[in-house]
């Protein structure tokens, strides 16, 4: 992909922090032709996905799964690259094996019939409730996912979406939202734990995060072979080697 910009519009830009947000912003700015300097207080990039090494062992410090792989593909394509040339991303099934103290296991995946069968085994009366929850989640996904890349820079821009947020019960936590539909305590955990993936608390995080269930059901859950150190490194390396004017500063 070739992108041309007016040289007079190009700027020297400093990005502070090399988490996923910082890396993504820096790469997009650099692809537009801007001179980008990234500041990072640690010895290497990653942010919440920092990789720790000690005594010959490697530990992932944050997320290890991918729920929207096309966002990564878009970033590589923006730079004229292919994801598969740098990292292998594979679908996983089941997404999670959720284990409970009583020995029961819920194998969470995108197979609707398997999900319903397991729900029936845990608590038959929750099958109908799950279907209603899934339908409500679709509505949240339709509204919420469209907002993820929308800037809210004014009160007016925020006010426009307030009616939708109220209608979708965004004032409720994920846990309380799920509990409206599902009665079995184990199943309540199965369908409300997702805020933990982003460091949130299911009992405090807005019910908007219930859209993750729909996201996973539609697009699956993916894993980068080699884990974080292999999918953070390609992004950060672009900042240093993709074009000669890249600048990396660790402070």
**At CB < 8 A and 24+ separation, what contacts does 149-152 make?**
none
Q: Are 98 and 190 within 8 A, CB to CB?
A: yes
Distance CA 194, CA 213 (A): 8
Hunting for tokens 């990039």 — which residue is that? Answer: 45
Catalytic residue selected from 101, 121, 216, 229: 216
CA torsion 236→65→185→217, rounded to 10°?
Answer: 120
Q: Within its chain, how far is the Cα of 245 from the centroid?
A: 30
216 is catalytic: yes
Q: Is residue 90 within a helix (H) or strand (E), and if so which, with residue range?
A: strand 89-91
Radius of gyration, CA atoms only, the chain: 21
Which SS3 state, helix, strand or coil, does residue 84 take? Answer: helix
Residues with catalytic function: 216
């Amino acid at each position: 992909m070739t992108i041309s910009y007016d040289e007079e519009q190009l700027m020297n830009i400093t990005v502070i922090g090399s988490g996923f947000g910082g890396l993504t912003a820096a790469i997009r700015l650099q692809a537009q032709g801007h001179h980008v300097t990234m500041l990072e207080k640690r010895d290497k990039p990653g942010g919440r996905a920092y990789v720790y090494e000690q005594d010959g062992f490697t530990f992932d410090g944050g997320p290890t799964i991918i729920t929207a792989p096309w966002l990564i593909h878009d970033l590589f394509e923006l730079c004229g690259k292919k994801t598969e040339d740098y990292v292998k991303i594979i679908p996983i099934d089941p997404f999670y094996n959720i284990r409970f103290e009583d020995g029961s296991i819920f194998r969470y995946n995108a197979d609707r019939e398997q999900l319903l069968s397991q729900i029936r085994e845990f608590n038959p009366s929750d099958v109908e409730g799950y279907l209603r929850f899934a339908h409500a989640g679709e509505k949240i996904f339709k509204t919420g996912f469209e907002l993820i890349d929308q800037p809210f820079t004014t009160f007016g821009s925020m006010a426009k979406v307030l009616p939708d947020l109220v209608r979708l019960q965004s004032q409720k936590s994920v846990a309380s939202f799920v509990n409206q539909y599902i009665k079995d305590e184990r199943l309540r955990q199965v369908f409300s734990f997702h805020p933990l993936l982003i460091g949130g608390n299911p009992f405090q995080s807005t019910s908007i995060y219930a859209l993750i269930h729909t996201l996973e059901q539609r697009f699956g859950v993916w894993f980068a072979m080699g884990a974080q150190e292999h999918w953070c490194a390609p992004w950060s390396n672009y900042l240093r080697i993709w074009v000669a004017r890249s600048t990396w500063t660790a402070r």
